[in-house]
Amino acid sequence: DTAVSQTPKYLVTQMGNDKSIKCEQNLGHDTMYWYKQDSKKFLKIMFSYNNKELIINETVPNRFSPKSPDKAHLNLHINSLELGDSAVYFCASSQMGGGEAFFGQGTRLTVV
Amino acid sequence: AQTVTQSQPEMSVQEAETVTLSCTYDTSENNYYLFWYKQPPSRQMILVIRQEAYKQQNATENRFSVNFQKAAKSFSLKISDSQLGDTAMYFCAPYTDKLIFGTGTRLQVFP
């Protein structure tokens, strides 16, 4: 059973389109994250949710909108995609207070 | 602001040898956690080892151990008896109110 699963694994789309990435965790964790990994492998936190509430928003453009329908799901919707959005996006979950984060397999987004 | 520095962008080691990856961080918190993650070419993020800042004893996990120096805010990872499968990017990641990552060290293990 996959602990943190995100779909799709690969996403190729044209500039200006809108796309979503879905994430689900079955670990019973109360905190979920989105990270962006650029071409230099730098991992930057984008958002963090605790029990469906947004607790961290790291100055991400408002074209990125996370949504957490329940504490097991955290989806990422991106409007008006730009070339610079091309990256690998990771979803992760953990227990609030410092438990290790478990990661999904990543979604490689390519904007052409 | 919390910062993490991994000063070795790339390292290489021969199989069966020992290698140490360095990490320094900055935080004003007293209680926090520290992690090392590995990312092989498959791109999956895998937890290697965890350290609680309130514990003086250094964490050990099989061939992986850390040297945690709280006053110096240093958290290095030692890999003993290196194996080909250890080839990966290694990220140091402190957690205070959020988990942030260093820039990574690319480790290549040679036969």
Q: pLDDT by residue (tens digit) across B3-43?
A: 899 999 999 999 999 999 999 999 988 889 999 999 999 99
The shortest C-alpha distance from A18 to chain B (Å) reads 25
pLDDT band at A1 (very low <50, low <70, confident <90, very high): low
First to last CA, chain B: 41
- Give the pLDDT score at B1: 55
Window A:32-51, CB contacts with B under 8 Å? 33, 35, 40-45, 48
Residues of A in contact with B45 (CB under 8 A): 90, 92, 101, 103, 106
> How far is Cα of residue B73 from the mean position of the Cα atoms in its chain?
13
> Among A15-24, A48-57, A71-80, B60-69, where is mean pLDDT lowest?
A48-57
Residues B105 and B89 sit within 8 Å (Cβ to Cβ): yes
Query: Hey, are the CB atoms on A41 and B33 less than 8 Å from each other?
Result: no
Query: Any residues with CB less than 8 A from the CB of A55 and at least 6 apart, and which?
Result: A31, A48, A49
Q: Which of A32, A37, A40, A41 to mutate to test the interface with B (most CBs of B within 10 A)?
A: A41
pLDDT band at A51 (very low <50, low <70, confident <90, very high): confident
Nearest to B43 among A44, A100, A106 (CB): A106
Q: How many Å apart are CA B3 and CA B94, to the nearest integer?
A: 9
Q: Omega of the bond prior to A69 within 30 degrees of 0, cis?
A: no
3-state SS, one letter per residue, for chain A: CCCEEEECCEEEECCCCCEEEEEEECCCCCEEEEEEECCCCCEEEEEEEECCEEEEECCCCCCEEEEEEECCEEEEEECCCCHHHCEEEEEEEECCCCCCCEECCCEEEEEC
